[in-house]
Structure 1
Amino acid sequence: MTGHKNRLSASALIVRTLIGAGMAVMLIGVFYPLFWMVLSGFKDNTGLLTNPFGLPDKWRFSNYVSIWNNGIRRYFFNSLVITVLSSALVAVVSSFAAFALSRYRFRSRRFWFMYLLCGLMLAPQVSLISNYKILQGLHLYNSYAGLVFVYTAFRVPYTMFLMWSYFMTLPKDIEEAACIDGCSSFQNFAHILLPMSKPIMATGTILTVRYVWNDFLFSMVYTESAALRTIPYGLNALKSETGTEWAKLMAGMVISAIPIIVLFTFTQKYFVRGLAVGAVKGYPAAGRTHLNEEEEKRMYVLKGRVIDGNGGEPLEKGIVEVTDNKITAVCNEWEYTVPESAEVIEVENGTIMPGFIDQHVHMGVGDNYYKIFERHAYHAVCQCIRDMKQILNAGFTSIREVGGLSNYLKAPWEEGLIDGPRICSSGKAIAQSGGHWDYIKDYPIEFTLHPDRNVNSEICDGVDNVRRTVRMHFREHCDFIKIMGGPGISCQGNKIFTREFSDSELRAFVEEAENQGSYVAIHAHAAIAINAALRCGVRSIEHATLMDDESIELMLKNNAWIVPTLATSYLSWQHIDEREPWVKEKMSAIEGPKEENLRKAYKAGVTIACGCDFGGGTITVHGNNGLELPLMAETIGMTPMETIVAATKTGSRLMMRENELGTLETGKLADIIIAQGNPLEDIWLVSKADNIKVVMQDGKIKKNMMKGICCV
């Protein structure tokens, strides 16, 4: 054991000795020429030629004084002016260009980036004649400005690339926080990005200074007056003026080297750090010494056909970049450079779209209202959790529930206790005594009022009760108010062509909701119910089956919208014998004029939203929510793109979250789906959950039917 340890120590000592010897040789190779040049400047011509490597027999300081007074002073000043101006201009232009190319997403960004990089491929000798002609044409030949112009043009591409690489490593969190506090883009650049970029600024400046200070070619070609010559060309000219006094020329070379040596000595710390950034993966940028896994943000890049939800033409070869839970870029593929840290999702035969929003949902209700009274509220909660999973699986990342218990599921969803769509809820729907969702009229009203059985509606009569009920809803953190303004298909009793709630009650609902910065949605089939609601300020008309011309006029005037709920009728007709006996009679009464009325409203320009009105039973099963889109296209005459907008952008408006959801735009939450094929060619594709291959919600992949993608 001991002998082996000694042998290891001896080996290590040999290795260290060899490394030290190698470094010593390198240092001698670097510093001896400089040392020899300094010594040679103190000799005379004879001493330099006869004893080139020895010490001077006499230290002749007069060589430095003589060469300075005989011309170096003028050349030194010229070089100083040109170098300072060129370096400053290169730093300014390069930093602005790097900032724009690293922080902004614009259509021609990649073109300009490649255009500037092409400058790295251009050798100075190739452009001598063309530059000469340009300078003559601009009357800049034989001037400081001409030389500064040429040096700037040749140094900007390299310096810009250095700074761009560095800017890409800097975290954007501080800039985003500054923007929230009111900083402009320029303030972000000047007060945040530049102070964090001292290392790369020093690197770019030193390399530019060295290039300009030591250049001989441009000074020779683009100046002809001795008064404008720089040190390299000036030293060559002094060679004939001093005969062959090599010692004095050595002194001149020492003087010309001093500024570069001084500059590097005081900035070498930043220079080394700047060179290291980007060359070593994980190098701590901007003073960050450690970045643990919790601090790293996951990045996805989705590549393929992109429909952004705004209604414009799709990007056939598009990019959607997601960082953490936000969309950070949407652009053409050719405009984008994929970061090394990104996980790329290639979509070959599919379409990237915003997550859908179902704007008329009930969960845990079912299709048979008799069964509501046969189960406890806890049973309904379990049904809701099942329904939420099915809805998310169908590509609907958000819902607007218009009557149910999901208001109490928002907090568990936000805490990550349950999976499903994000929820905008009205809480319990509000009905009048004997109205829609006072379910079975043959039962005592106490059945409807029972809080452990009926979790979907509550009874409210009179203006005072209306005000208190609405206030209690908002006290429970409801997002909007849903009221039953007329009879429904599924409830026993009441003729479909009548209305419920008085005008004074309707106005009270609207006033209290607007006091909370929200709105009222109303269940209404008949024109008498629709028009009364619109005149009282109701914004959201659910179903609107029997609307008339006055209804359409009021909708346009009040900027109201329709949620037609076609899918529930479609499935109910397919299973009509399984429904309650009164359902078929009511549906037969409304089906005739329904399509005509909806087409008339659509052509008039009324906003139409997308909601399926499923209850989560055995007929209107959640998971088929996408059926509403093709039915809107076939029944109303909407284009496939219009149905997608209705299910995305319009939905975010109804949820009052249009700044966060509904479209694929920078800064919005990353709720994204990938559908098989092209829904603009066949909108029925989105009606089947199996065709929704990927569901991303809040930046996390919740469903994955594509190979090579990890669910989070």
Structure 2
Amino acid sequence: MGPYPGSPTKTRDSLLPKLAVKPWIRPHPQALILREVLIVDPASASLLSGPQDVVISKGHIQSIKPSASNIELPSDVEDPIVVELKGKYLCPGLIDCHVHVSAVPGVHTMSELVQTSEELIHLRTTYILREMLLRGFTTVRDTGGASKALATSISEGLIVGPRLVQCGQALSQTGGHADFGPAQTTTGCCGGHSQSLGRTCDGVPQALKATREELKAGADFIKIMCGGGVASPTDAIETVQFTAEEIQAITTTCRQMGGIHTTAHAYTDASVRHAIDNGVRGIEHGNLISKDTAELMAEKGIFLTPTLSCYGIMVRPPFEDFLPPDGKIKNEQVMMKGLDALTIADDAGVTICYGSDLLTSMQALQTEEFTVRASVLPSPKVLKHATTNASRLLRNDKIGSIREGGYADILVLDSNPLDDVTILDWPENHLFAVIKEGRVIVSKVNGLKPEN
């Protein structure tokens, strides 16, 4: 049969893009040339010699050359926007290696958070992601709660946010750090699930099944709760969680599935060593580690992602009621030793990454971690935590530096973070533009306009 009488026989050209299978995917942004910029190189803790011209096309940095009156464009770069940035600094986009984007605002306490509906969490997550990007974080690593579907939605441009690396739901034993369920509950054959951050699994068969399910769902890495936590209701900080056999089942599966990275929530020497001895490759927090344990981590190439600012934030106004009384006691316990552990790890040569670990509306203070770390470490080291060290953890050499062939994830700053990294804690004063994969997200620079 032919078309109905009077129906058009040709598709209107203006609607062609919207007839695509995924009509929200946008073409590459127009090419950019950023002129006479001072490029921050975290790896060498220095600026590139003299002003540079940076050519950006198709989401990548095409060339970096000393500034000249005549710019030689690569053959595939057409009709670029030229922006004069004399005196401004270009810094790699920031990387936060410990976030929880599903720990959304809209609640006052941890107990309210874990009772929030899944649909409402999904919708509020879009706010969290956009705000992170506006603060200059172009990549984040979610350590419990985010999904592959969310990461894909960001990469396709359906949701505005940082590049998202995610582990699905973190794995916890019953009564462990990700078990926020009631004391009396039936979890069924595959373990229970807390609403936003993790799932429980007990015994080797459940640990295997949970790991395989998270990997099947698209997890980029697996997180294991190997010790007690501040916000969880039933486990002391000193507890060591999961048996050696359970952890080995998880880490063996990850190795067999292509060398998937594993990391562990752990504060104490006992829980950190328990994780490392059974094949885990990263540690989250580590506030109570000793010199010997730090040296072991350095020897074995174990990554450490401390999260220090969150402990002070969780107990000061307007968040003083977020934790229950026993949580406040545990919070003080780990806060007292956090900076000591950071310097111990740095002295031992551990590869340290940036992590904020903030929940609910606290995430607006995501950059405060720079100020806290800078109180004991020099600015160049702290900047590496959020750039080159983080790119190594994430096994992605296209992020964490400004180099030819890398993603055009760039911050335009009015000051040099190598001199004072705490300027990154004041984006409202020092951050002039955020560019992610060549697309201008926000800008206060003349001639550098965000896309509609």
Q: Into which bin does the TM-score normalised by the smaller protein fall?
A: 0.7 to 0.9
2:231 is matched with 490
Q: CA deviation at 1:445?
A: 6.0
Q: Distance in 1 between matches of 2:275 and 2:28?
A: 51
Change (3 A) 1:683 1:296: closer
1:347 is matched with 85
Q: Distance in 2 between matches of 1:630 and 1:297?
A: 36
Change (3 A) 1:685 1:336: farther
Q: How does 1:229-240 map to 2 (within 5 A)?
A: none
1:608 is matched with 352
Change (3 A) 1:670 1:553: same
1:171 is matched with none
Cα contact 1:441–1:492 (8 A) shared by 2:
no
Q: What residue identity is the alignment partner of 2:432?
A: K
| 2:306 aligned with 1:564 | yes
Give the number of equivalent residue pairs: 412
Q: How does 1:584-603 map to 2 (within 5 A)?
A: 584-603=328-347
2:400 is matched with 662
Q: What residue identity is the alignment partner of 1:337?
A: I
* 2:62 equivalent among 328, 351, 374: 328
Change (3 A) 1:295 1:444: closer
1:395 is matched with 136
Cα contact 1:319–1:336 (8 A) shared by 2:
no
SS of residue matched to 2:299: helix
Cα contact 2:57–2:438 (8 A) shared by 1:
yes
TM-score (norm 2): 0.85
1:124 is matched with none
Cα contact 1:440–1:492 (8 A) shared by 2:
no
Change (3 A) 1:595 1:469: same
Cα contact 1:369–1:439 (8 A) shared by 2:
no
Q: What residue identity is the alignment partner of 1:311?
A: S
TM-score (norm 1): 0.55
Q: Distance in 1 between matches of 2:69 and 2:183?
A: 66
Q: What residue identity is the alignment partner of 2:204?
A: V
| 2:423 aligned with 1:681 | no
What are the Cα deviations for residues 466-510 of structure 1, in whole angstroms up to 9, with x where unaligned? 112111111111100011111111111221112101111111111
* 1:306 equivalent among 17, 25, 39: 39
SS of residue matched to 2:314: helix
SS of residue matched to 2:320: helix
SS of residue matched to 2:228: coil
Q: Distance in 2 between matches of 1:532 and 1:295?
A: 47
| 2:195 aligned with 1:462 | no
Cα contact 2:169–2:197 (8 A) shared by 1:
yes
What are the Cα deviations for residues 118-138 of structure 1, in whole angstroms up to 9, with x where unaligned? xxxxxxxxxxxxxxxxxxxxx
Q: Distance in 2 between matches of 1:556 and 1:522?
A: 16
2:8 is matched with none
Stretch of structure 1 that moved more, 332-341 or 315-324: 332-341
Q: Distance in 2 between matches of 1:641 and 1:295?
A: 33
Q: Distance in 2 between matches of 1:335 and 1:503?
A: 64
Q: Distance in 1 between matches of 2:202 and 2:127?
A: 34
* 2:165 equivalent among 401, 412, 424: 424
Change (3 A) 1:449 1:346: farther
Cα contact 2:41–2:47 (8 A) shared by 1:
yes
Structure that is richer in helix per residue = 1
SS of residue matched to 2:148: helix
1:650 is matched with 389
Q: Distance in 2 between matches of 1:567 and 1:550?
A: 25
| 2:382 aligned with 1:626 | no
RMSD: 2.4
Cα contact 1:361–1:402 (8 A) shared by 2:
yes
Stretch of structure 1 that moved more, 510-519 or 430-439: 510-519
Cα contact 2:115–2:195 (8 A) shared by 1:
no
Q: CA deviation at 1:311?
A: 2.8
Stretches of structure 1 lacking an aligned partner (at least 5 in a row) = 1-293
SS of residue matched to 1:352: strand
Change (3 A) 1:572 1:350: farther
2:444 is matched with 705
SS of residue matched to 2:138: strand
What are the Cα deviations for residues 640-669 of structure 1, in whole angstroms up to 9, with x where unaligned? 1222221111112222212x2121111111
Structure that is richer in strand per residue = 2
Q: CA deviation at 1:449?
A: 6.7
Q: Distance in 2 between matches of 1:603 and 1:570?
A: 24
Q: Distance in 2 between matches of 1:450 and 1:591?
A: 30
Identity of aligned residues (%): 25
Q: How does 1:377-388 map to 2 (within 5 A)?
A: 377-388=118-129
Structure number with the bigger relative contact order (C-alpha 8 A, sep ≥ 6) is 2
Q: Distance in 1 between matches of 2:337 and 2:97?
A: 23
2:269 is matched with 527
2:295 is matched with 553
What are the Cα deviations for residues 612-660 of structure 1, in whole angstroms up to 9, with x where unaligned? 1122x13x224x32222222221xx3321222221111112222212x2
Q: CA deviation at 1:343?
A: 2.1
Change (3 A) 1:368 1:686: same
| 2:113 aligned with 1:372 | yes
Q: Distance in 2 between matches of 1:387 and 1:604?
A: 35
2:17 is matched with none
* 1:357 equivalent among 95, 98, 115: 95
1:319 is matched with 53
Q: What residue identity is the alignment partner of 1:578?
A: D
Q: Distance in 1 between matches of 2:281 and 2:447?
A: 45
Cα contact 2:308–2:339 (8 A) shared by 1:
no
Q: Distance in 1 between matches of 2:35 and 2:303?
A: 33
Q: Distance in 1 between matches of 2:204 and 2:185?
A: 24
Stretch of structure 1 that moved more, 302-311 or 521-530: 302-311
Cα contact 1:537–1:558 (8 A) shared by 2:
no
Structure number with larger C-alpha Rg:
1
Cα contact 1:564–1:608 (8 A) shared by 2:
yes
Change (3 A) 1:407 1:419: same
Change (3 A) 1:300 1:502: same
SS of residue matched to 1:693: strand
Change (3 A) 1:470 1:388: same
Cα contact 1:394–1:688 (8 A) shared by 2:
no
Q: CA deviation at 1:341?
A: 4.0
SS of residue matched to 1:337: coil
